[in-house]
Amino acid sequence: MTETVTYELMVNGERRVVEGSWLGESLLFALRERLGLPGSKNACEQGECGSCSVRLDDRLVCACLVLAADAQGRSVTTVEGLTGADGDALTDVQRAFLDEGGVQCGFCTPGLVMSVHDLLDRNPTPDDLELREAISGNLCRCTGYGRILAAARTVVARRGEASLHESEGPA
Amino acid sequence: MTVTGERTATAGRLGHSAARPDGVPKVSGQFAFSSDLSADGMVWGHVLRSPHPHARIRSIDIGPALAIPGVHTVLTADDVLGDNSFGLEHADQPVLAHDVVRFTGEAVAALAADHPDTARRAAQAIVVDYEPLEPLIDAEEAITAPPIHPAGNIFRQLVIRQGDTSAEGEVVVEATYEVGMQDQAFMGPESGLAIPDDDGGVDLHMSTQWLHVDRDQVAACLGLPTEKVRLTLAGVGGAFGAREDVSMQVHICLLALHTRRPVKMVFTREESFLGHVHRHPARMHYRHHATRDGRLVKVEARIVLDGGAYASTSGPVLVNACCFAAGPYVVPNALIEGWAVRTNNPPCGAMRGFGAVQACFAHESQMDLLAAELGMDPVELRLRNVMKSGDRIPTGQVVSGAAPVEELIRTCAAVPLPPLDPSPAVMSMPGGSGRTADPARVRRGVGFAVGFKNLMYSAGFDDYSTARVRLEDGVATVTCAAAEVGQGFVTLAQQIVREVLAVDEVVVAPAETVTIGSAGSTSASRQTWMSGGAVERAALAVRARVDAGEAGPIEETYEHHHPPTFPLDENGQGVAHVSYVFAAHRAVVDVDLDLGLVRVVEIATSQDVGRVLNPLQVTGQIEGGIAQGVGLAVMEEIVLDRGLVRNASFTDYLIPTALDMPDVTIAALVEEPEPGAPFGAKGVGEPPTISSSAAVAAAVRDATGLALPRIPIRPQDIALA
Ligand code: FES
Ligand code: FES
């Protein structure tokens, strides 16, 4: 290959060194093949499927469209970096995907989990069209989206209940 | 009995929405798909593909590729260690083309390099001198054209003659229908890892639908005994038929044996479109004869399927298209002729619905045409002719199992229509965010369709599955080579064993070819019946020994065959199928008459399921299958231009997104237990795809008044009509 470079990335809160990388490598390639984080998937490498969705600082991006070297000095969060509240290994979105049957083959799942988190961070109570639009950049070929939409609605409902209880205070 | 929700069932057992054992790894990114694998010293494989649909290869110069630093090896046809041909039914496709290429995307050379980009650049450096030949692109012409392959152009020809083929009806309707080439478009691209072993064999980790048949084909092409090829299922990112044929399996094993290194290959999306079989494009001419009061007298059909360059499963797809050509109706007389032919188009094979999808679009379009001719309600016409248990299909075979078609039609048709929104949001109109629709020019339409197909393999194929159950210290382990492709067999296997052995902890061992026999293919809606049955019987044998007081580890293996079937005779008659499954769909659409854009508003459905074993998984199969049916109706087609694929990407080949997908209303899951089926359950994966396309097309016709004899329906078919 041509000239190689070494650089540092901040991934899931950790400093990671990418060594011997070709400058043209995407963030997706660096995550998957150089840093041992294959949770972000590659289904098109063209920004069309959302399987590679990761958070770059506080924006959701297609990791296949970002040059890895360009992500220096920014914070990358992948599905491997998600953790739930109260010591739960899974987030409420991940739990809801399981409870509602949003997972079949699972190839789209990490990207959709990132996408639903991103939406609900920005808009905690999306209506049906907002929800559909927010995940319309994530292709799923197995589920027809029905159970995925159900999972997102479940998260909204559960978060709503939880904050209601909080505001009511201890009984 | 009709159910629409969860019944009381013990958690984790049959009838309950048991959790997937692979669920937590899948939501947390820890599940290893085939594209996630790696090994020490691994190199990357890549395949050079033909840019021509038909050409003679004059010479291949691999020198420039070998000269690139980082390239380990470049292989051509001469380097294939065993047979240079493979195929599911007929080994008619070269592993690497040697004299002629017959489709755009045919493999010409395989190479391995230290980086995937090096491998891609090296492939571009190979110099192939092609002499382009005239491509044969028309399926009709292929029947009589000079052969483009030593095995000829006709994969299969079939005639079904039932009753009096000269019978005439008082009313006759006739039309020609077409279905375009659909792609399975699973999300996880083809990928695998081959690791050479010291014994001269190879360990292949692959995402596939049928491990043992892959193994057998790979071994023949490597010139190895089958036991030297050991296949383990790697995580599968969807399948839908496209992984039933060998894609890269032989190539990466050859590269591994030549380089003595682990070789990984991952297709790009473009390679995936070029490198697997598709749904057969079909041209179907139909003539329906009926009495004035709407009883079918005779169905005549002439079905031509374009099988593309190599055989794959074209023969069985044609058998299905012809057997189910008349639909789930009582048809006393029939004359059905079919051809599946070879062309220089991309090869076609299995896709969800397997021949029944194409036929359903035609027979349901004909039913609507007949209803219009008779001035009858389309649903009423279907009810008047509906098939029941004990009726025959045109092959003369009696449908002896459950056939609750009337209940499916009635329950589906009874779903209240979704209300018309007087001031619809822009995003919910055809064209959505494009803000193109003029509400005054949007029309609503409603369409109905019913379809059916066979469960399991047919026409004499000895279809079986093998499973082992071991009980030790209160933990049961299931070993079965059934490919989990996302459908949830691993969940079902656990549910069955929990039910039979009354244990809580059930481990599903990895699917592989070394310690267990074949489970057959994850296709034809067959794994619930075949592998589910094998698991059940192995577990029952274990339980019998437990009940007899035996202690210590108990292990039982069972090979489950379904009742024998037989090839059709020269009149297309015979007992070719084991069982059938039915579904009905009603589609509601909004159509922008000016721009030809369609928004599918709702799909209502009823499905014949035998028994619901896992409600959530059944729902998932129904919604997912409908998405693929909607896609075929209004979005999805591989566009060919003289044999060249014009849209091999997700930019140009569009599949439904969350915005395209309508709400799905499941009106009824009809539970009439199927005799002979384990737990009475029928496979549920294919029916949602069969009649949903036809229902959407009917709804668009209803909205526009156009004939629309072809799917997918494109905007120009409406706007420029
Ligand atoms: S892989 Fe990045 S969008 Fe598809
Ligand atoms: S679950 Fe398979 S692609 Fe979404």
Domains of chain A: 4-81 (3.10.20.30), 85-168 (1.10.150.120)
The CA distances from residue B324 to B357, B360, B404, B593, B683, in Å, are 9, 8, 17, 34, 17
Which ligand has its closest atom nearest to the C-alpha of A108?
A: 2
Burial of A169 (0-12, 13-18, 19+ CB in 10 A): exposed
**B244-296: pLDDT as tens digits:** 999 999 999 999 999 999 999 999 999 999 999 999 999 999 999 999 999 99
* pLDDT given for residue A2 in this prediction: 63
Longest dimension (CA), chain A: 66
The top-level CATH class assigned to B282-457+569-719 is alpha beta
- Tell me which of A105, A136, A153 to substitute to probe the interface with B (most B C-beta atoms closer than 10 Å): A105
Averaged pLDDT, B614-624: 98
Share of chain B above pLDDT 70, in %: 99
| Partners of residue B627 in chain A, C-beta under 8 Å | 141, 143-145
Angle between helical axes of B356-374 and B692-704 (0-180°, round to 10): 40
Angle between helical axes of A146-168 and A92-100 (0-180°, round to 10): 130
| Partners of residue B186 in chain A, C-beta under 8 Å | 105, 107, 141-142
| Partners of residue A138 in chain B, C-beta under 8 Å | 657-658
* pLDDT given for residue B8 in this prediction: 63
Tell me which residues of chain A, numbers 128 to 147, contact chain B at a CB-CB cutoff of 8 Å: 129, 131-133, 135-147
ipTM greater than cut 0.95: yes
Quote the ligand 1 centre to A47 CA distance (angstroms).
4
- Rounded to whole angstroms, the Cα distance separating A133 from B400 reads 47
Averaged pLDDT, B678-690: 97
**Per-residue pLDDT band at B2 (split at 50, 70, 90):** very low
* pLDDT given for residue B421 in this prediction: 87
A35: contact with B, CB 8 A cutoff: no
- Rounded to whole angstroms, the Cα distance separating A45 from B187 reads 12
The top-level CATH class assigned to B43-133+187-238+242-275 is alpha beta
Q: In the predicted model, is pLDDT for residue B3 greater than 70? A: no
**B51-80: pLDDT as tens digits:** 999 999 999 999 999 999 999 999 999 999
Mean pLDDT of chain B: 97
Tell me which residues of chain A, numbers 54 to 93, contact chain B at a CB-CB cutoff of 8 Å: 78-80, 82, 89-90
Quote the ligand 2 centre to A107 CA distance (angstroms).
5
Q: Which atom from ligand 2 is nearest to the alpha carbon of A104?
A: 1
Phi, psi of B566, rounded to the nearest 5 degrees = -135, 150
Quote the ligand 1 centre to A104 CA distance (angstroms).
19
| Partners of residue A106 in chain B, C-beta under 8 Å | 22, 26-27, 31, 33, 235, 237, 486
Please name the residue that has the structure tokens 């018309």.
B420
Q: Which residues of chain A have pLDDT under 50?
A: 1, 171
Q: In the predicted model, is pLDDT for residue B719 greater than 80? A: yes
Report the b/e string of B550-561 with b at 16+ CB within 10 A.
Answer: eeeebebbbebe
- CA B38-B40-B41 angle, to 5 degrees, is 110
- Rounded to whole angstroms, the Cα distance separating B573 from B34 reads 43
* pLDDT given for residue B584 in this prediction: 98
Q: In the predicted model, is pLDDT for residue B4 greater than 50? A: no
Angle between helical axes of A92-100 and A109-122 (0-180°, round to 10): 120
State the pairing for strand pair B154-162/B171-179.
unpaired
- CA B617-B36-B39 angle, to 5 degrees, is 140
State the pairing for strand pair B333-341/B296-306.
parallel
Architecture of domain B6-30+464-561: 2-Layer Sandwich (3.30)
Is residue B337 within 8 A of residue B371, CB to CB? The reply is: no
How long, in residues, is chain B?
Answer: 721
Omega cis (within 30) before B675: no
Averaged pLDDT, B293-309: 98
CATH 3.30.365.10 placement within chain B: 6-30+464-561, 282-457+569-719
Do the chains contact at A98 and B269, CB–CB below 8 Å? no
Identity (one letter) of the amino acid at A76? Answer: V
Which ligand has its closest atom nearest to the C-alpha of A139?
A: 2
* pLDDT given for residue A170 in this prediction: 53
Structure tokens given for B122: 């090296």
Comparing alpha-carbon positions, the chain A residue that sits nearest to B117 is A1
Q: CA B499 from chain center: how many Å?
A: 30
Q: Which atom from ligand 1 is nearest to the alpha carbon of A64?
A: 2
Please name the residue that has the structure tokens 């006709």.
B154
Q: In the predicted model, is pLDDT for residue B353 greater than 50? A: yes
**B481-524: pLDDT as tens digits:** 999 999 999 999 999 999 999 999 999 999 999 999 999 999 99
